[in-house]
Amino acid sequence: MEAHNVEPLTTPEMKNRGNIELLYRALQQGDASTVAKLVASDVEWWFHGPHNCQHMMRLLTGEPPSQVSFKFEPSSVQVVVPGHGCVIAEGWEGSQVYWVHVWKLKDGVVTELREYFNTWITVTDYSRGAIGWDMGRCTVWESVPRDLARGTAPSAPPPPQAGGIAGGIVDQRFCAPYPVDLAIVRKMMKLTDGNFVITDVNGNLMFKVKEPVFGLHDKRILLDGSGSPVLTLREKMVSLHDRWQVFRGGSTEQRDLLYTVKRSSMLQFKTKLDVFLSHNKEEKRCDFRVKGSWLERSCVVYAGESDAIVAQMHKKHTVQSMFLGKDNFSVTVYPNVDYAFIASLVVILDDVNREDRAAAGSS
């Protein structure tokens, strides 16, 4: 059963879909020579999900199928946005695990893979001219519930989405109805000289961090791509829990306070931060929490004390970089979540971890 409506395919598009179907068969059979013909040696890979579910990269880098317990058997393989070399496959492993692969091909060869686990995906084509926030008529692909794909009555809800949880904490202009990837390159990450840069996946400058030339180094200013101040991040120097206050624009006035970030406890093996919005005066329950380690390049932002993820940091892999030791990272911000807010948490997480490393070196 075809799960999605698609436009008529041209010969190159039919070839792309056929090559992806062939790739899945070759991976299942351990046919390394066919895989090598279908996948570029420098294929780029983005992963969205638990770290222990990186099964496809293990297969693409040559691990025998017998050593990878997860089996990719797609329930559908579809071409979306004809003419752009994009093929999407989805499938279920049992009743609990749902996966989506977004393949990008050039001349029939895979150059890029985005892999999602237990994440509901909607693909929107903005070239079709949506008006305002009405994106319905531009949606070209959506995840299909397992039971609907099989033609039976639905028996279970789809995987949860985090969209809409954070909203416009800083400004609604920093919210998008689709996932936003903020790219970070490790060699650029030097907060001490003001060279912390965040771009989108195409290299366009999204944010950069500025530090005061004079005075105490307890303040950072997050600038947008045009150099205008978006947020001011100020660390409270006398604080038991490494408390940061985040203000609107270039201000440090209490009336412009948006949220406060602090360690959840003094003794930590991995960094855990609690975020309290300005109206949460008593701070009995956090509005957001951050768990992760900058050293491990692992970070997840949750809504409140729930398990609902609003953003997560992950390594941006290429097959080539795994051997050359290049360090590229990206932070995926979920739909309708304020990505300026998430960017500020990344900056604070880096600063907290730098202080931890400095303290460990002096002890």
What b/e string do you get for 112-128 counting C-beta neighbours within 10 Å, with b at 16 or more?
bbbbbbbbbbbbbbeee
pLDDT at 110: 94
Question: In the numeric block, which tokens belong to residue 182?
Answer: 């903020």
Q: How many CA atoms lie within 13 A of 159 on its CB side?
A: 23
pLDDT at 4: 45
pLDDT at 55: 85
pLDDT at 2: 40
pLDDT at 79: 87
pLDDT at 142: 77
pLDDT at 224: 93
Q: Go through the chain and tell me how many residues it has.
A: 363
Q: Domains in the chain, ordered, with CATH?
A: 11-149 (3.10.450.50), 172-362 (2.40.160.200)
148 near 155, Cβ under 8 Å?
Answer: no
pLDDT at 295: 61
pLDDT at 185: 60
Q: HEC profile for the chain?
A: CCCCCCCCCCHHHHHHHHHHHHHHHHHHHCCHHHHHHHEEEEEEEEEECCHHHCHHHHHHCCCCHHHCCCCCCCCEEEEECCCCCEEEEEEEECCCEEEEEEEEEECCEEEEEEEEECCCCEEECHHHCCECCECHHHEEEECCCHHHHCCCCCCCCCCCCCCCCCECCCCHHHCCCCCEEEEEEHHHCCHHHCCCEEEECCCCEEEEEECCCCCCCCEEEEEECCCCEEEEEEECCCCCCCCEEEEECCCCCHHHEEEEEEECCCCCCCEEEEEEECCCCCCCCCCEEEEEECCCCEEEEEECCCCCEEEEEEECEECCHHHHCCCEEEEEECCCECHHHHHHHHHHHHHHHHHHHHHHHHC
Between CA 21 and CA 27 the distance in angstroms is 10
pLDDT at 323: 38
Between CA 275 and CA 208 the distance in angstroms is 22
Per-residue pLDDT of the chain (363 residues; tens, 9 = 90+): 344 444 444 578 889 999 999 999 999 888 889 999 999 988 888 887 777 788 888 888 777 777 777 889 998 998 887 777 899 999 887 667 888 999 999 999 999 998 888 777 777 665 554 444 344 446 677 776 544 344 433 333 333 444 445 568 999 889 887 788 888 765 444 444 445 788 887 778 899 988 765 555 578 899 998 999 999 999 886 555 578 999 999 999 999 999 999 987 665 556 789 999 999 988 989 999 998 765 656 789 998 888 888 898 876 554 444 333 344 678 888 888 899 999 999 888 888 876 655 555 544
